[in-house]
Amino acid sequence: MARPSLHLLCSSKLCNQMNKKTQNIVVHNFLRCNGIANMIIKKNSFLNYKRNYFTAIYNNVQEKKNILKDMDNLYDNILTSNWNDSVHLVLNISIWEGELVEIEEKIKPYESDEEIMKKKKELNELFDVLFILEDLRDHINELLEQSSRSVGIAGTHLLSSFKIQNEDEHINFLKNRYEQLLITYPAYKYQINLVLGKGLALLRQKFAFEWDHMHEFFF
């Protein structure tokens, strides 16, 4: 059997060395690329996390602005309406109450936010004054209606109803409530005068009584 030549043996060894060197280079490059890929993935993950973080902050700020805007719109809408118009209030109070319920649901995550809680307190106070004056206005309207019914048709006592026997108690109650409301809710003096003040002025056309603020209403 012929022996392989020295040239072939050298060539074979050289090829083996080159193959090992190539394998090492390939493995090294693979590991290097894999490391770079991992770094890119980690960097992208960090950037995504950072982007999501600032997006969440932005959305939170925008949501707070929207809630405050809704609260301001509801407050202004109620404050500028005619509180002495019974039909207007009957048609709108249920809508306002529904909007208030929606706002109360939205502000639950912001219970520690002073700005939102301050605005919510003002909104609740506005509703309190509104409902109090609504009841007092109805009280005055019933007194006025019954005083007209008690004298019958055109004052002829035809088909007349009963006469109010304790009108002084009703009038004193309303006068006291007027003073109390001015002290408790001074910011809503205009609304108090619009409903209760003018209501008492109208009562002075039916009943004779003295009132400290009577000349403010030209009656």
91-144 pLDDT, tens digit per residue, is 999 999 999 999 999 999 888 899 999 999 999 999 999 999 999 999 999 998
What is the rounded average pLDDT for all residues in the chain? 79
21-63 pLDDT, tens digit per residue, is 555 554 455 445 555 555 555 555 555 554 554 454 545 678 8
Do the beta carbons of residue 133 and residue 191 sit within 8 Å?
A: yes
pTM of the model: 0.69
CA 111 – CA 107 distance, rounded (Å): 7
Which own/partner pairs from 170-173 qualify as long-range (CB within 8 Å, at least 24 positions apart)?
Answer: 170/139, 170/143, 171/200, 171/203, 171/207, 171/209
